[in-house]
Amino acid sequence: MQGKKKIAIISLLLGYTIAVPVFAYMYFYQTEPVYVAAGVVLQTYPDPTMQIGVYWDENCTQPVTSIDFGQMIHPNEAITLWKAIYIRNEGDVWNAICFNSTLPFHYPVATEIADDWTYGSWQWGSGPNINGTNIEASTVSLTYYKVHIPAYATSGAYNWTLTVWGENYY
């Protein structure tokens, strides 16, 4: 009888050893997605000498008027979503590019959704922020607008305004 109890206890422990990680995986990685809708309304402030164009394509034929990141379906994993955006200096003088968003959190010090806009680096890299980047007249620059969403971010709709403008280059 002692041997049967020992086998039963070992079998039970083995069962728990297998079942617990499987249930943990199912709970943390296979839960129903919580949708977090995000959208950005883009504004540019044209100035006769410092005109900035923001486009989806390198040929600058498709202007960006809004950015839709869609729905984030992995609420239990941190994720960075990005969009490649081309900025063209449409004026006849050098411009320093500037941007600001009404999103209250900015990367990397955020506990909720945060944004970041970089250039000169692959989108996952830590390229420099576009604020203060100098662009020569008629030049097109590839940039990456990113939204960083931490694991377990508050679900709901996120909308904000992104403003881009040029300033005199000295």
pLDDT in tens, 30-63: 455 555 556 667 666 666 667 888 999 999 999 9
User: Is the pLDDT score of 10 beyond 80?
Assistant: no
C-alpha torsion sign, points 127, 130, 135, 141: positive
Query: Residues near 59 by Cβ (< 8 Å), separated by ≥ 6?
Result: none
Decide which of 137 and 124 is more confident: 137
Q: Which CATH architecture has domain 36-168?
A: Sandwich (2.60)
The pTM score is: 0.72
User: What are 161's two structure tokens?
Assistant: 């305004």
C-alpha to C-alpha distance for 170 and 163, rounded to whole angstroms: 22
Confidence at residue 62, expressed as pLDDT on a 0 to 100 scale: 94
